[in-house]
Amino acid sequence: MNSIPVPFSDLLNALSDWFGVSARVLPWRSEPSPYRVWISEIMLQQTVVAAVIPYFNRFIETFPDVGALAAADTERVLTLWSGLGYYSRARNLHRAAKILNESGFPQTRREWEALPGVGPYTAGAVLSIAFNQPEAILDGNIERVWSRFRCLPQSSAYKERLWQLSRFAIGETVRIGLQPSIVNQALMELGALVCRPASPDCNACPLAPRCKARLRRTAALYPEKRRRAAFKNLTETVYVYRLSDGRLWLPPSENTRRWRQGTRDFPLCENSRWRSFVRFAGEFETVHVVTNHKIVRTAKIYDLSDETPLTAVEEAAFVADLTDLPHNAACAKTFANGISFPKTTAPTGELLSKSFK
């Protein structure tokens, strides 16, 4: 005889109970206001929880509400974001804060999705978690849960089928009197802690009784692998100017690549005014990976003499550390190597070479 399937409503009740016992203590969960949930969800885009926590805490300490964020200088916002990557998120966050400070936090998906940097997932997450509205969400963790739950193959309808499952789950959540906020967070938490990419703990999963991948022992096959975009190899040369006291010249970036806009970085061309006052100390290479780009950077080090004519603006751009400046990972690696690179004692034009990987 075929056994009677466990009702989906029973699975949702089990999922909610599991979350009540197993949920991680996270700073945005302790006070799930619309502002804090929105900030956390933007930071969590393409970034793991462990990396986000210290950034979130510093950000909220500095900008405790949307008014403080809206009034902030863009460079200050980018400074606090430095190291988290994908800087367009920070720029869009700042733009959206100015709108929210004027209009208040929206109550509909359409209004949320009209904000810079907010897509269907983020809109649903804020509405369901902060406002407990019955809005479906779909992130990488939930995708993994549903793709295994139904053994979904990659196809043109794959994403829509995932969204259908999320919408069905929220509809059932409301029907049986559970909270959308809890169920959506539980689904994400399940994907992070139990239905992991590798070595899922199927025996601990509250959805296991109806999970096709568990019954077929094929969890490792889902989600099916998508073909990754080919890496694009890029090269660039930057110029590192160093004063006798060790400070490096770091003017506002002229790099127009979208992942670096608004951050500080080393210039892509020489300063012709200083040509008669520098000695070439050497060069090094660093390698950086940003999404599907592999960037090989050559940094040329020049030591400036104490007689170098500097304008007030140029003088102000020489810095000893990156603490209070918005910077990207490539800049940070170049800066660390530039600070420690041996100073030249050779005649002008003689090369000292050192390589950093």
Taking residues 236-264, report their average pLDDT: 81
Quick one: residue 159, left, alpha or beta (phi over 0 = left, psi -120 to 50 = alpha)? alpha
- Tell me the C-alpha to C-alpha distance, in Å, between residue 224 and each of 29, 144, 150, 165, 201: 32, 10, 12, 17, 19
Q: What is the pLDDT of residue 6?
A: 87
Of 257 and 101, the one with more pLDDT: 101
Q: Take residue 256 and report the two structure tokens written for it.
A: 């127009």
For 132, phi then psi, to 5°, come to: 60, 30
pLDDT level of residue 258 (50, 70, 90 thresholds):
low
pLDDT level of residue 2 (50, 70, 90 thresholds):
low
Q: What is the pLDDT of residue 122?
A: 97
pLDDT(293) > 90: no
Cα separation, 268 vs 176, whole angstroms? 60
* DSSP per-residue codes, 154-214: PSTTHHHHHHHHHHHHHHHHHHTT--HHHHHHHHHHHHHHTS-SSS--GGG-TTGGG-HHH
Name the H helices within the chain.
8-22, 27-30, 34-43, 49-62, 66-71, 74-81, 88-103, 109-113, 120-131, 140-150, 158-175, 180-193, 212-216, 312-316, 329-340
Taking residues 69-84, report their average pLDDT: 94
Concerning whether 283 is annotated as a catalytic residue, the answer is no
What residues contact 287, with CB distance under 8 A and at least 6 apart? 294, 295, 296, 297, 357
pLDDT level of residue 16 (50, 70, 90 thresholds):
very high
Taking residues 155-170, report their average pLDDT: 97
CB 248 within 8 Å of CB 318: yes
Q: What is the pLDDT of residue 80?
A: 94
Taking residues 289-317, report their average pLDDT: 90
Taking residues 297-308, report their average pLDDT: 94
Handedness of CA 57, 62, 63, 69 (dihedral sign): negative
Domains plus CATH for the chain?
8-221 (1.10.340.30), 232-340 (3.90.79.10)
Q: What is the pLDDT of residue 324?
A: 83
pLDDT(338) > 70: yes
Taking residues 67-80, report their average pLDDT: 95
Cα separation, 281 vs 349, whole angstroms? 8
pLDDT level of residue 110 (50, 70, 90 thresholds):
very high
Taking residues 324-353, report their average pLDDT: 74
Three-state DSSP at 261 gives: coil
Q: What is the mean pLDDT of the chain?
A: 91
Q: What is the pLDDT of residue 346?
A: 46
Q: Which of 31, 41, 102, 113 is catalytic?
A: 41
Taking residues 91-117, report their average pLDDT: 97
Q: What is the pLDDT of residue 347?
A: 45
Q: What is the pLDDT of residue 352?
A: 35
pLDDT(300) > 90: yes
- Taking residue 21's Cβ as centre, other Cβ atoms within 10 Å add up to 6
Q: What is the pLDDT of residue 348?
A: 44
Taking residues 19-44, report their average pLDDT: 97
Cα separation, 27 vs 53, whole angstroms? 7
Taking residues 73-87, report their average pLDDT: 91
Taking residues 164-192, report their average pLDDT: 98
Q: What is the pLDDT of residue 277?
A: 92
pLDDT level of residue 353 (50, 70, 90 thresholds):
very low
What residues contact 283, with CB distance under 8 A and at least 6 apart? 298, 299, 300, 301, 351, 353, 354
Taking residues 71-81, report their average pLDDT: 94
Exposure of 50 in the CB half-sphere (CA atoms within 13 A) = 2
